[in-house]
Amino acid sequence: HFYVSTLRPNLLRSRALIQTLINAHHIDEVSLVDNATTAAAIVLQQIGRRFAHHRNDTVIMFRCAFPAVKKSIQAYVTRAGASVVEVDLPFPVSSNAEIIAEFRKGLSSAKSDGRKVRLAIIDHITSMPSVVIPVRELVHICREEGVEQVFVDAAHAIGSVSIDVQQIGADFYVSNLYKWFFAPPSVAFLYCRKSNPSSSETHHPVVSHEYGNGLPVESSWIGTRDYTPQLVVPAIMEFVNQFEGGSEGIMRRNHEEVVRMGKMLAEAWGTSLGSPPEMCASMVMVGLPSKLHVLSDDDATRLRSHLRDKHGVEVPIYYRAPKNGEKSESEPRDDHGLITGYARISHQVYNRIEDYYKFRDAINRIILEETSLQGCF
């Protein structure tokens, strides 16, 4: 009975709400899937099929693209014969211009020797290190340069920045609703521009009764499972509208607070932020004191566990390898050496200033008391 009378109409309601939120033109362009990882598989599987006919063409993406997405490219695109060109993300970064310049460089390389760039994967907000990317500009450049399809991986976007898919102009755009938009795990939307000729070739990899009826309909039934996270979108709207300014108000306050907290921490530790405030949304990268000696990805992981287990602080840590050598003036530094570790702090409505003080004090204590750092974490 639920299947027949409740599931379909409620999924449609959820999709309609998202369509409005992101300014999509047709509800057919909005599908609900589990998460961005699933959306990537959908888009890349479709791209991979096209490569069967055009080997040695290229795909371009950021080197810091989410690792799961990189694996998906390996599984569906590289395996089908394409080459991948990776764009370095300058970090720390001071302006959009730096990112745009790197991207143009990457595109040239991808197009070299007469190759066609079949796909560009662009993060809206990168994961680690976290920075807001000027997607609109980059998509525009892709169109100018003849890139065939553009897929924006905006896992963090909805609930953290405004989204207008007409302005952004990508062929595919995915965002998770359970990260910043208060949905339970897990639900994401995948937007597929109608005008993209591949949209009819895009399928959910878990094939069920609705195969061939369009991605939104295929995704709405992929066998018996719990679809409730996909059904609660209307309830989320009720929740956010309890806050002043609704979703916009929440986003704005999260941004202001995370920047404020980031600056507070950087000042307390004598470090710096990874990007200017206008290049972050509700997350910011805060340099960790060089005295912590975070010198590898492993160190970053162990520091994270140490903070969780011994100091009751949950925060992801990023290791940034020096690019140009220790003596270089362009490397980020504090008074004691190179900054090689960054914490990605977030702010959501449940956070309080005490959470960040606790983090500040934990780091200070580690430096003061736990002098044999190699041993402690």
Partner 1 sequence: MATHDHHLNGDTITNSTTNLAKKPKLSPSSTFITASEIQSEFSHHDPSIARINNGSFGCCPASIVKAQQLLQLQFLRQPDHFYFNHLRPGILESRTFIKQLINAHHVDEVSIVDNATTAAAIVLQRTAWAFAEGRFDKGDVAIMLHYAYGAVKKSIEAYVTRAGGCVIEVQLPFPVNSNDEIVHEFRKALEKGKEHGRRRVRLAVIDHITSMPSVVIPVKELVGICREEGVDQVFVDAAHGIGCTDVDMQDIGADFYTSNLHKWFFCPPSVAFLYCRKSPSCLDLHHPVVSHEYGNGLAVESAWIGTRDYSAQLVVPKVLEFANRFEGGIDGIKKRNHDNVVEMGQMLAKAWGTNLGCPPEMCATMIMVGLPASLGISSELDTMKLRTHLRDNFGVEVPIYYRVPKDEEVGVITGYARISYQVYNKVEEYTKFRDAVNQLVCDGFTCALLSK
Residues that bind partner 1 (CB under 8 A): 1, 3-4, 34-38, 40-41, 44-45, 52, 67-68, 71-72, 74-76, 79-80, 176, 178, 184-186, 203, 205-209, 211-212, 222-226, 229, 305, 308, 314
Query: Contact at 8 Å (CB) between 121 and 84?
Result: no
Structure tokens at 324: 């140009």
Q: How far is the CB of 195 from partner 1 (least distance, A)?
A: 24
Please spell the DSSP secondary structure of 156-224, one letter per residue. TTBTTB---HHHH--SEEEEEHHHHS-PPS--EEEEE-TTSGGGGG---SS--TTTTS-HHHHHH-SSS
By beta-carbon proximity to partner 1, the closer residue of 142 and 153 is 153
The residue type at 169: G
Q: What residues have CB less than 8 Å from 303, skipping those under 6 apart?
A: 292, 294, 317, 341, 377
By beta-carbon proximity to partner 1, the closer residue of 108 and 213 is 213
Q: How far is the CB of 50 from partner 1 (least distance, A)?
A: 12
CA angle 270, 328, 343 (to 5 degrees): 40
By beta-carbon proximity to partner 1, the closer residue of 74 and 241 is 74
Q: How far is the CB of 88 from partner 1 (least distance, A)?
A: 21
Point out which residues pair with 286 in neighbouring strands: 273, 343
Residue 327: CB atoms within 10 A of its CB come to 8
By beta-carbon proximity to partner 1, the closer residue of 131 and 222 is 222
Determine whether 1 is exposed, middle or buried from the number of CB atoms within 10 Å of its CB (0-12, 13-18, 19+). Answer: exposed
Q: How far is the CB of 42 from partner 1 (least distance, A)?
A: 9
Query: Contact at 8 Å (CB) between 135 and 122?
Result: yes
By beta-carbon proximity to partner 1, the closer residue of 111 and 179 is 179
Q: How far is the CB of 215 from partner 1 (least distance, A)?
A: 13
- Rounded Cα distance between 181 and 232, Å, is 11
By beta-carbon proximity to partner 1, the closer residue of 25 and 209 is 209
Q: How far is the CB of 187 from partner 1 (least distance, A)?
A: 9
Count CA atoms closer than 13 A to 149's CA, side-chain side.
26
Q: How far is the CB of 356 from partner 1 (least distance, A)?
A: 17
By beta-carbon proximity to partner 1, the closer residue of 77 and 142 is 77
Structure tokens at 93: 């970064």
Q: How far is the CB of 374 from partner 1 (least distance, A)?
A: 22
By beta-carbon proximity to partner 1, the closer residue of 197 and 212 is 212
